[in-house]
Amino acid sequence: MTSLQFYRWRVFSKGLVAAYHATERREKRLLEEMDEYFAFIEHEAWWRGMRSWDESEGDAPYAGDFFYEQFAEYDHSSERREDAGRFHSQLSAAIRAGLDVASEPSAGVVGFTVGDVRAALGRDLPDWFCQLYPGIEKADDSKGVWL
């Protein structure tokens, strides 16, 4: 992952929090947890080796594995990814969607709309995003998008 991709990952993930229409307190907690997650990855320089949710190079852990370790306290399920709790699920969806879009698009996250993407990146979507999703700049805000 390049430094530009890491930047896009952080910005897009944090921008997607607006899609949840959460309370001010919930939104603040989500953003604080994301800040910690990204700060640790940046401090350890793991972003250089992270490729996708479950792929990395060198000493970098998988982003997904690090996520589940970092946020285990919010995982209220007996098994990963299964009814983990709303806060945990919101963190996971935004961070994973941001990573996938910034690094290796996989359409691995559902539940967001074009309007959510515009809220995260601006009404005029950036060229780099439109190249990944041809025609999205003309799509209606209510249209679902797999990130």
- Give 93-135 pLDDT, tens digit per residue: 999 999 999 988 887 898 999 999 999 999 899 999 999 999 9
Residue matched to tokens 């309370």:
23
Indicate the residue type of 130.
C
pLDDT for residue 78: 52
pLDDT at 34: 94
CB within 8 Å of 80: residues ≥ 6 apart:
68
Instruction: Please tell me the predicted confidence (pLDDT) of residue 142.
Output: 97
> Between the CA atoms of 122, 103, 10 and 80, what dihedral angle is there, to the nearest 10 degrees?
120
Q: Using alpha carbons only, what angle is made at residue 106 by residues 101 and 108, rounded to the nearest 5 degrees?
A: 95
Helix axis angle, 86-102 relative to 3-16, nearest 10°?
Answer: 140
Largest Cα span, the chain: 42
Contact by Cβ (8 Å): 52, 137? no
Q: Which residues of the chain have pLDDT under 50?
A: 81-83
Helices marked H in 46-107 — which ranges? Answer: 63-70, 86-102
Q: Tell me how long the chain is.
A: 147
pLDDT attached to residue 77: 60
